[in-house]
């Protein structure tokens, strides 16, 4: 009788564990969906607003770079929301013990300064290159990220992940075949070369930042909460913003801001709102990007970011009245296919958890 009671207790414990695991996985998928929405909406809107800034008369490269990082105060309410409600146990403190402030300072300084330089490179690329060429070069980030993820993060490649990378690469590569002759004619060869080099460098740099961020979370930060994610975003963007502000004043561009605002085609209010919403959009993108690194991997975050590249030409049709052609439609379909391939791999991984749950349920039924 006692043995039967113990078996029943064990079975109930396993059932509770399975149900808890299912709830955790459902919550995890909901978080992933939210972060994916943040990445896609933030990236596409920020790119469109950055293009609008230059189209309407904005000329300051440093200002266009600053808005990519200056929105970090938006993280403060989220940090307060995720403050721990009680003091963790001693065992938990050992698990989540933070590294020394020297290590943290070195991580934040490296990634912050590197982020500032990377944002400047993207600004030059977006300003000097046609949209299709810019998008084509940006997709090279997938290759760089795959390389860095393999050596820094121990990323494993399955056939489905490889298929996803290939499809997403083809998707963005197709955009180069759309007609950009008019815009190319307006771009000098010198600026074209500079934009090309800057965009390649920015793509490689951003891929390294993503992989290094994942490595920092795994090896040094060891944070088990989203408060650690938001802290990371704040410190990284704070240091990057300081570096960019120094560049803004050192270059002398700060003296031209008032004149640029007054000559902006849509007016002063539109100028300010364009910059403000660009900053907000970049922070939304950053939250989604870092969140996906925290929950999945830097490669997955980059795949989602690449998925958003074909979305920008679609939005350009709506807001900038650009033409829509078959190439853009095919690029979008390939991007969705590649995204579905990667998600299916995550689905197969999720099936393992469900399979374990079914086995436990069968054992419970037998008892």
Which of 85-99, 194-208, 259-273 is predicted least confidently? 85-99
Question: Lowest mean pLDDT: which of 101-110, 133-142, 293-302, 316-325?
Answer: 316-325
Q: Which two tokens stand for residue 80?
A: 């307060």
8 Å CB contact between 42 and 307: no
Q: Cα torsion at 349, 354, 356, 362 (round to 10°)? A: -160
Mean pLDDT on 220-240: 79
Question: When comparing pLDDT for 90 and 296, which is higher?
Answer: 296
Q: Which of 100-104, 236-240, 331-335 has the highest mean pLDDT?
A: 236-240
Q: Which of 118-127, 151-160, 242-251, 310-319 has the lowest mean pLDDT?
A: 310-319
What pLDDT is stored for residue 243 in this prediction? Answer: 95
DSSP string, 218-235: IIII---SHHHHHHHHHH
Predicted pLDDT of residue 68: 92
SS3 89: coil
Alpha-carbon span 304 to 190, nearest angstrom: 32
Q: Which pLDDT score is estimated for 360?
A: 47
DSSP letter string over 17-61? HHHHHHHHHHHHHHHHHHHHHHHHHHHHHHHHHHHHHHHTT---H
> pTM for the complete prediction?
0.73
- pLDDT per position as a tens digit, 69-108: 999 888 888 777 765 544 344 434 444 556 677 888 888 8
pLDDT score of 321 = 62
Which of 2-11, 204-213, 270-279 has the weakest average pLDDT?
2-11
CA distance 290 to 337: 24
- Looking at the predicted structure, is the pLDDT value of residue 47 above 60? yes
3-state secondary structure of 237: helix
Q: Are 328 and 313 spatial neighbours (Cβ–Cβ below 8 Å)? A: yes
- The token duo for 278 is 């660009």
Kindly write down the DSSP assignment for every residue of 145-193, as one continuous string: HHHHIIIII-----HHHHHHHHHHHHHHHGGGGS--HHHHHHS-HHHHH
Q: With the CA atoms of 318, 324, 327 and 330 taken in that order, what torsion angle do they form, in degrees rounded to the nearest 10?
A: 60
User: Are the C-beta atoms of residues 34 and 280 closer than 8 Å to each other?
Assistant: no
User: Domain segments of the chain: what residues?
Assistant: 2-83+94-366
> For the residues 287-302, what does the mean pLDDT come to?
79
Give Cα 80 distance to the centre of its chain.
Answer: 23
The strand ranges marked E within 188-253 are none
Confidence of residue 22 (pLDDT cuts 50, 70, 90): low
Supply the pLDDT for residue 83.
57
- Residue 342: count of CB within 10 angstroms of its CB: 23
Q: Which two tokens stand for residue 328?
A: 């853009």
- In this prediction, what percent of the chain has a pLDDT beyond 70? 68
Poorest-confidence range of 46-55, 189-198, 346-355?
346-355
pLDDT at 245: 94
Does pLDDT of 184 surpass 60? Answer: no
d(CA 309, CA 325): 16
Question: Who wins on pLDDT, 232 or 188?
Answer: 232
149 neighbors 299 (Cβ within 8 angstroms): yes
Would you state the pLDDT for residue 182? 44
């Amino acid at each position: 009788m006692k043995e039967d009671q113990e078996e029943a207790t064990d079975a109930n414990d396993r059932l509770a564990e399975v149900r808890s695991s299912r709830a955790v996985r459902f919550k995890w998928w909901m978080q992933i969906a939210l972060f994916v929405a943040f990445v896609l909406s933030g990236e596409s809107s920020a790119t469109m607003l950055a293009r609008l800034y230059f189209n309407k008369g904005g000329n300051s490269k440093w200002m266009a770079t600053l808005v990519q990082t200056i929105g970090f105060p938006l993280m403060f309410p989220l940090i307060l929301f995720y403050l721990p409600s009680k003091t963790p146990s001693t065992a938990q403190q050992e698990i989540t013990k933070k590294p020394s402030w020297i290590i943290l300072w070195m991580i934040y300084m490296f990634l912050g300064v590197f982020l500032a330089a990377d944002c400047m490179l993207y600004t030059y690329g977006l300003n000097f290159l046609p949209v299709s060429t810019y998008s084509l070069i940006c997709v090279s980030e997938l290759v760089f990220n795959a390389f860095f993820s393999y050596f820094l993060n121990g990323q494993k490649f399955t056939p489905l992940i490889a298929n996803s990378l290939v499809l997403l690469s083809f998707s963005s590569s197709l955009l180069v075949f759309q007609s950009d002759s008019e815009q190319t004619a307006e771009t000098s060869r010198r600026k074209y070369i500079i934009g090309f080099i800057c965009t390649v460098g920015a793509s490689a740099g951003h891929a390294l930042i993503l992989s290094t961020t994942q490595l920092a979370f795994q090896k040094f930060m060891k944070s088990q909460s989203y408060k650690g994610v938001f802290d990371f975003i704040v410190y990284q963007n704070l240091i990057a913003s300081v570096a960019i502000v120094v560049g803004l004043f050192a270059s002398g561009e700060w003296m031209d801001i008032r004149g640029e605002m007054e000559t902006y085609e849509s007016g002063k209010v539109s100028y300010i709102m364009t910059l403000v919403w660009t900053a907000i959009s970049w922070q939304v993108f950053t939250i989604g990007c870092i969140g996906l690194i925290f929950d999945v991997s830097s490669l997955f975050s980059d795949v989602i970011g690449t998925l958003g590249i074909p979305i920008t030409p679609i939005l350009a049709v709506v807001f900038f009245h650009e033409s829509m052609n078959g190439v853009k439609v095919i690029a979008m379909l390939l991007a969705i296919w590649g995204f579905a391939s990667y998600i299916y791999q995550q689905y197969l991984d999720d099936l393992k958890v469900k399979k374990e749950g079914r086995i436990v349920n069968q054992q419970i039924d037998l008892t």
